[in-house]
Structure 1
């Protein structure tokens, strides 16, 4: 007799043996569970399709079917740990829970306790940057995920994505890097207020010929070199500061570099190229070149 809804599959062709799978082999374990629950699948996508929705993982499919127990006991365990344990100890505990206890919804546990697990990282950054106002952000949480994954790899050689957690971005900068942290710590609300107040003050030439051109290149990621030349008092600094605010308000990095200290002070967050890029500046050599050029000029008749 054919399987209902699948005439090409006979009921007698059912699976005869399903091997035991240890829960630590997460996706295989959840796949095995779905094989016992979903009738008549013709491919692996069918096993992950619940009420018309294609789940990203077999774990998610099992969760949508209500096959997994809730994580109340793990939530209470972590909640109790936050009362006395350090962030490092909470990460250690969470790594053990992830790798040995198979919580049904680890991402939800992460969302509930990620601040507690990131306290020490935030503290380190604030200590290193006392002049900046730094709060929890995605970069700090990413650093926590990296440290958490290192623990899981040490315990059971499992990456976070294998156990239902977000994967850390390991190719990003370290949040303990002062320079980048400084550039990403501007107050977005203050920047938006600055933009709202100053953008309407642009005249037609500033807006159409300069501002729009530069912002279109930034937004379209086309890049290029733009040389802005205008007499003093025509609003070059005003325009540049507005563009810097636009970029920083989107949580991107905008380096405001100038060749001289005076010019750098006119730009918000401005620095000299020598200090920011650690360019070599040999004063003695520069003075020597100046003297030689003067000696050469002294021997030239005009």
Structure 2
């Protein structure tokens, strides 16, 4: 999958042995110290790859990471098991330890249920005994309230979350907004679910689970990376659609009509753009121009169903030393669609 540039008079044999062409930004990762992004346990192999990268020193390639004692393991999970990194659910415990220091109790409860559903931990009771006190910190209770009452409330809440997970995966009853998207008429979907804490993340998970379960291709993106990791198979919008980091009024995305990405966009049923308020209006205009060209339909975004989400009470596009009017002019509300 490497992109290689060469002169027409070069021979294939010389190209293949050129060490400079064997190095890419991805493979160079194994030669430098870099940042490893957070990965949810629901991501499966990506999660176990992150565990290996955090613990195995001097790795030179992905195959090297998967080779334990001279034997190539079939998956990153089995490689992590052979390294002893998954014994007694240690990786899951580390995930919960990291989460309870930065997450609210409600988010910790959801993570605990996610681990039960996707990670199949062995010592569930051990994890419960250690972390249930952190999952009830937002419960209002007095000193004379019995401990078992609080625990029973926590168990009920966890059971409710488990039911929601099962509905997402199996036979979730599509809410009205989901029905609008699945009905396949290209349009914008607007709703009051824009302010933080109103259940957008849960709604997106429901949308993605159902539409993908029906066989549709849905691309989930966000303006910045942390929000993208929350969405199932999420990517940053700039990474997914090759939007230039520096845009102007005539910018377009670096996607050719013959590229595989162009074919993916043509086949996509819906596209989600989370945290859109942080992006400059030129990014939306560039994507609009690119979609019209790729899909060959002279409609807004090539007629694709776009789901935009953002809270205008939060961060607007950053304009160095910009005044209020400049911030407003850079906002998506001023985009020319």
**Same fold? TM cut 0.5:** no
| TM-score normalised by length of structure 1 | 0.26
| TM-score normalised by length of structure 2 | 0.24
| Structure with larger Rg | 1
- Structure of higher RCO (CA pairs closer than 8 Å, 6+ residues apart): 2
